[in-house]
Amino acid sequence: MKIRAYAKINLALDVIRKREDGYHELEMIMAPITLHDLIYINIIDSGIEIASNSKIMPTDNRNIMYKVAALMKERYQIKKGVKIFVYKHIPTQAGLAGGSSDGAAVIKAMNQLFHLNLTLEQMASLGKEVGADIPFCIYQKIAFVQGIGERLEFIEHPFNCKVLLVKPKRGVSTKKCFNSLDLTKASHQDCRLMIKGIEENDYQTVIDNLQNTLEAPSIDMVPEIEQIKKELMELGFDGALMSGSGSTVFGLTRDEEILENGYNFFRGKYYFVRKTEILNEL
């Protein structure tokens, strides 16, 4: 069977505190976008086989798809195996949840292939055991996300916006980014202001509340992030922000001409440039 694995952007990401278990408490507004990986998955006699058009993605037990497939085989006593091929369009170390979206897609696919009849809640709970962003990627709906990514409150209102993604060649390790974060110097905005903006269809309030606590440490590692943000704003985008722990920067606009001009400006200048938009309805 064929399934799409949709990427996400963080319209807001606020690191609240470091928890005693070593994880960080987060508040985020996450939105799915139309950029996606394409996954083909079939039942085979035994084992887990993964292949890809990507030369850098691991295809062994380090891969998040392998991990969720192994967990599901064990949890539900699945004797047969799966063969997975993924066409990667979402870049790695980009802050776009490429790995998590692939993992979520495999959970959904195996649920269908093996007639497990799991609910979205059950699939999200399973995914949480493997990766913090997988629960969001199971639902693929704009959400206010808390904790380490496991507590989701859906924002039941569409947010229509064109998005330009620009990623420099260097990625950012999420672990290194969090380790170098100085919370004493971080500024915090209330994510609930953005929720209000989306629910009341107040585009400017959404733009005014774009924020990402992880931007500063990521910019220290990849200075081009700051340059891309500056260039997006100079080109007329309404807002620009790094997604997740980076290194992708996104520009938001509702003007097709600005989107097209931005795409033409960045194309060939940076490693990855893609036009997309917020995904509201599947």
pLDDT at 246: 87
The model's pLDDT over 163-220, given as tens digits with 9 standing for 90+, comes to 999 999 999 888 888 888 888 777 778 889 999 999 999 999 999 999 999 999 999 9
pLDDT at 190: 87
- Residue partners of 84: CB distance under 8 A and separation at least 6: 39, 40, 41, 48, 49, 50, 51, 65, 69, 106
8 is catalytic: yes
Strands 162-167 and 249-253 turn out to be: antiparallel
State the catalytic residue, choosing from 8, 67, 88, 108: 8
Instruction: Say if residues 5 and 102 touch (Cβ distance below 8 Å).
Output: yes
pLDDT at 282: 62
Instruction: Say if residues 159 and 168 touch (Cβ distance below 8 Å).
Output: no
pTM of full prediction above 0.75? yes
How does the average pLDDT of the chain come out, rounded? 94
State the catalytic residue, choosing from 14, 102, 133, 238: 133
- Domains present along the chain, CATH in parentheses: 2-154 (3.30.230.10), 162-277 (3.30.70.890)
Q: What angle do CA 111, 94, 181 make, to 5 degrees?
A: 110
Does the CA dihedral 27-248-4-237 come out positive or negative? positive
The distance of Cα 37 from the centroid of its chain, to the nearest Å, equals 12
